[in-house]
Amino acid sequence: MTKNEMTKNEAAMIRNAFTMRRELIERMLDETRDLNLECGYPEEIKTGDYQAMYDRNEVASRVVKLMPEECWNAFPEVAENDEPEETEFEKTWKTLIDEHHVYNYLQRIDVLSGVGRFGLLLLGVSDGKSLNEPVEKKSLDLIYLRPFGEHVVNIKERDKEVTSPRYGLPVLYGIRTENLDGTLSSGTTDIHWTRVIHVADNREMSEIFGTPRMKQVYDRLLDLKKLLGGSAEMFWKGGFPGYAFEMDKDRKKSLTDAEKKSLKAEFLNFSNKLQRYIALVGVTAKSLTPQVADPKSHFEIQLKAIGIALGVPYRVFMGSEEAKLASMQDVKTWNRRVSKRQESYLTPMLIRPFVDRLVEFGVLPETKRYFVKWPKLDVMDEKDAAAVTKDKTEALAKYVTAGADAILPPFQFLTTVMGYDDEEAKTIIGEAEEWLNDRESEDEE
């Protein structure tokens, strides 16, 4: 080959390399590529898909139940006033809680409404009418409560009157109830809107449909399914090493049909059964190196991506044991978020509609107003409270002995450094001054 021909061949190789590289980049930047298709992500997620994922995926169940479990970890107080003596309204409410396990049902519908776009809490009352008829406002008793998820509910009719306060909202629902054997009925039971509480979390534009809690992280849940299933299959195939069998050429030609059948049976018994030996003649067995990789880092990346999407600290998302190790700042931030959901969603969109409906039915006595008060989430345990008390005592002692009151007056020190409110600071200073005056009087005597 001449020098000129070699130069032409090298130039052709370089052109081919650049062409392949350009084509690769174009394919990567091609907007027509369907990444969802290539990654196995569905273009449209149906209600049944959400329900199937929730039923069979442990991380999906955690995504749906996390906020309800955190918010309903302690139950709220529903009362008419702060007086120690209970009113008739408060007595009746507590009786309902005890007899019908109200908070248990409210938590369950909070969970179910987040699997799909909404959920229904059916109120069974003693009016003697069919479920498809409206409830008349009169003195009734609450008989039962039943929660339903979107996968068993369809909206059959909406209010079409534009002047109605319920314009566009459901008037009649169809619900597939549970048969005695635990299966769902094939037909639906019509239920009037007055007999249910419509619950929808993460509402945006619609007043009927919320955003399913799994929607933003559905692709990550599919990736986790691939990781967990793939790692199990990888161990199943790689944990038991494979073998390559090489047979002598001469021996292979001389094998009888009976010997071939016997060798095949040996291979099958070794591969599929508990036989751990192979009787071989003229065959060499070589072990293949198993390929097993640790999926932990990939698994954690997916979980962290889910936590970021949900706005949940990673340790909190992982559960109680990990949550104990979460930083104090993470805990405070998370508690604020839980409190916000309690006050801005659960109270106005679930508890108050439920209580108001019971008042309308006469199940609860009439009341001009009532309040819903949730327990504080920043309550410390005894160990943490003791540590805080110790730190405050030491800080106060150093403040007094160092004469720092000349720079920072006691009132400002107690409010800005120690964290007391104005009334508490004034009380502490007043009692300290009173104690000093008593000591001075004793010394003079």
Cα dist. 57→46, 53, 54, 64, 214 in Å?
Answer: 16, 5, 6, 11, 11
Beta strands in 338-403 (DSSP E): 371-373
Number of H helices, E strands in the chain: 17, 10
Question: What DSSP line would sit under 288-320, residue for residue?
Answer: PPP-----HHHHHHHHHHHHHHHT--HHHHH-H
Out of 26-35, 66-75, 208-217, 405-414, which region has the weakest mean confidence (pLDDT)? Answer: 26-35
Query: Distance between CA 175 and CA 192 in Å, rounded?
Result: 11
Query: Distance between CA 301 and CA 440 in Å, rounded?
Result: 67
Q: Are 104 and 371 in contact (CB under 8 A)?
A: no
pLDDT > 70: what percent of the chain?
82
- Give the three-class secondary structure for 121: strand
Name beta bridge partners: 373. Answer: 77
Higher pLDDT, 157 or 233: 157
Residue 25 has pLDDT above 90, yes or no: no
The total of other beta-carbon atoms located within 10 Å of residue 258's CB is 8
pLDDT of residue 233: 77
pLDDT of residue 332: 79
Q: Are 323 and 48 in contact (CB under 8 A)?
A: no
Residue 7 has pLDDT above 90, yes or no: no
**Residues 308-314: what's their mean pLDDT?**
87
Q: Are 39 and 310 in contact (CB under 8 A)?
A: no
pLDDT of residue 20: 64
pLDDT tens for 393-414 read 777 778 777 777 777 788 888 8
pLDDT of residue 316: 84
Cα dist. 78→82, 84, 102, 374 in Å?
Answer: 11, 14, 12, 9
pLDDT tens for 254-290 read 677 787 788 778 777 777 777 766 777 667 777 767 6
Q: For residue 111, which of 67, 79, 166, 80 has the smallest C-alpha distance?
A: 67
pLDDT of residue 99: 94
H/E run at residue 175: strand 170-175
Q: Are 153 and 174 in contact (CB under 8 A)?
A: yes
Q: How far is C-alpha 408 from the chain's CA centre? A: 47
- Give the three-class secondary structure for 424: helix
Per-residue confidence band for 117, with pLDDT thresholds at 50, 70 and 90? very high
pLDDT tens for 191-231 read 999 999 999 999 999 999 999 999 999 999 999 998 888 88
Q: For residue 169, which of 198, 195, 189 has the smallest C-alpha distance?
A: 198
Geometric angle at alpha carbon 106, from 104 and 110, rounded to 5°:
115
Domain spans in the chain, listed from the N-terminal domain onward: 3-33, 241-289, 382-444
Query: Distance between CA 96 and CA 102 in Å, rounded?
Result: 7
pLDDT of residue 407: 77
CB-neighbour burial class of residue 43 (10 A; exposed 0-12, middle 13-18, buried 19+):
exposed
Beta strands in 193-257 (DSSP E): 196-199, 243-247
pLDDT tens for 133-190 read 999 878 899 999 999 999 999 999 999 999 999 999 999 999 998 877 777 788 889 9
pLDDT of residue 64: 96
Query: Distance between CA 92 and CA 363 in Å, rounded?
Result: 8
pLDDT tens for 331-344 read 778 888 999 999 99
Q: How far is C-alpha 159 from the chain's CA centre? A: 33
Residue 319 backbone zone (phi > 0: left; psi -120 to 50: alpha; other: beta): left
The total of other beta-carbon atoms located within 10 Å of residue 105's CB is 19
Higher pLDDT, 308 or 253: 308
Q: For residue 169, which of 203, 126, 142 has the smallest C-alpha distance?
A: 203
Q: What pTM was estimated for this model as a whole? A: 0.71
